[in-house]
Amino acid sequence: MQRGEDSYFEDLKEKIKRDTAFDCHQYKDAYLKRRFAIRMRIHGARSYQDYMKVLDTHPEEYRELIDTLTINVTEFMRDPSVYDAFFPLLRDMISIKRREGDKRIKIWSAGCSTGEEPYSIAILLNKALGKGFGDFSVRIIASDIDEGALRKAREGLYKRDALKNLSENEIRVYFT
């Protein structure tokens, strides 16, 4: 019995996960097929089986593939309702930490893209801590699978349109 292209599509997703620890199963198949097709055309691969051979012979292709899959769309306070809901939780956490005498705050921003999310969290923390900011040891760890995005995050340089969800006062206080 001959295997169909759908079977090789599943094999490709498993291969990517096995070889890179990047789990494609979080994406819709239609999206993956469109993105795989882009990389396949570049390499002249006519099937998923052919593309798996490309990955075997050119492991550097994984980086290009993952960059194609992980499109970084972000801005400060990107989903204001989420940050509105998060702010009281931060204040509650700070109250508990003060009561317990724990002056350490650690937050992990996974999939931080170019850094707008961890910087947005830092702004919220600054507001929640107010004048007590110096009383705490604050650490925000930001990670992303895209090294290029992380380089931009480390630079901390943003275009004005990334600030569209911030007030003029927030821009004046937190940005130069």
Catalytic site positions: 35, 144
Return the CA Rg of the chain.
Answer: 21
Q: How would you label 127-166 residue by residue, b for 16+ Cβ within 10 Å and e otherwise? A: ebbeeeeeebebebebebbbeebbebbeeeebeeebbeeb
Q: Is residue 161 classed as helix, strand or coil in its secondary structure?
A: helix
Q: Residue 133: which of 125, 124, 145, 141 has the closest Cα?
A: 125
